[in-house]
Amino acid sequence: MAIFYFLILFMIVAAIIAVETDNLLSSIICVGAIGCGGSLMFLFLYAPDIAITQIVVEVLGLIILIRSSITRDLTFISGDREFFEVVVSVVIVFVIFLAGSQVMKGIPDFGTPAYSQIEGSASQVYVEKGLKDTGAANIIAGIILDYRGYDTLGEATVLFTSILGATVILRERARKLVKESE
């Protein structure tokens, strides 16, 4: 439990720094730190799929924000490739390949879901009790609107917020204001 309080404190401090600092780049980096904390929190809450989504979105957002905030970011690499660096990168790729092939061995055969072998796992409960619990013949509707209603509410909120942002930015009054300021 202590790790959660630590993460929440870390995220709050990062959020305050992101709002208060004058430097745009450090503000963006603080936003990235908040996302990293959120991803770690999902990982400790046993939701690895959400943690992966979170980290991917954060990395992409950070790259886009940094690219848009730095005006001069073109750094040219000069000189030839050095032998040592090539060897290191080849070794890293080989190690990742070995690890991946070991992981592939542990995956069950095609057509046998991993969770069907575990008693009481979430997907088995959905399949066995879905119709009785929700009354919906389409089990997907039963899952996304009954078992995982919070998730759908979050998705609807994300959609609503994005439409709100797009409407505010693209409305005609905002464009008129931009023209007047020019």
Partner 1 sequence: MKGMSIIVKTISSWVKILIFLFGIYIIIFGHLTPGGGFAGGVILACSYVLLMLAFGREFAEENLSLPIASKLDCLGALTFALIAILGLVWGGCFFVNFLYQKYLPGEPFRLISAGTIPLSNIAIGIKVGASLFLIVVLLSSFRSNGLAGKKE
Residues near partner 1 (CB under 8 A): 131, 134-138, 140-142, 144-146, 149-150, 152-153, 156-157, 159-160, 163, 166-167, 170-172, 175, 179, 182
Instruction: Indicate the residue among 13 and 139 with the shorter CB distance to partner 1.
Output: 139
Distance in Å, CB of 11 to partner 1, minimum: 24
User: Contact 60/28 with Cβ under 8 angstroms?
Assistant: no
Smallest gap from Cβ 22 to partner 1, in A, equals 30
Shortest distance, CB of residue 23 to partner 1, whole angstroms?
30
Cβ closer to partner 1: 92 or 156? 156
Rounded least distance, CB 181 to partner 1, Å: 12
- Contact between 142 and 133 under an 8 Å Cβ cutoff? The reply is yes
For partner 1, which is the closer residue by CB, 87 or 151? 151
Give the tokens for residue 57.
Answer: 């979105």
What does the alpha-carbon distance between residue 129 and residue 117 come to, in Å, rounded to a whole number? Answer: 17
The residue (of 26 and 157) whose beta carbon lies closer to partner 1 is 157
Element (H, E) at 126: helix 122-134
47/126 Cα distance (integer angstroms): 17
Which DSSP string corresponds to 54-77? HHHHHHHHHHHHHHHH-S------
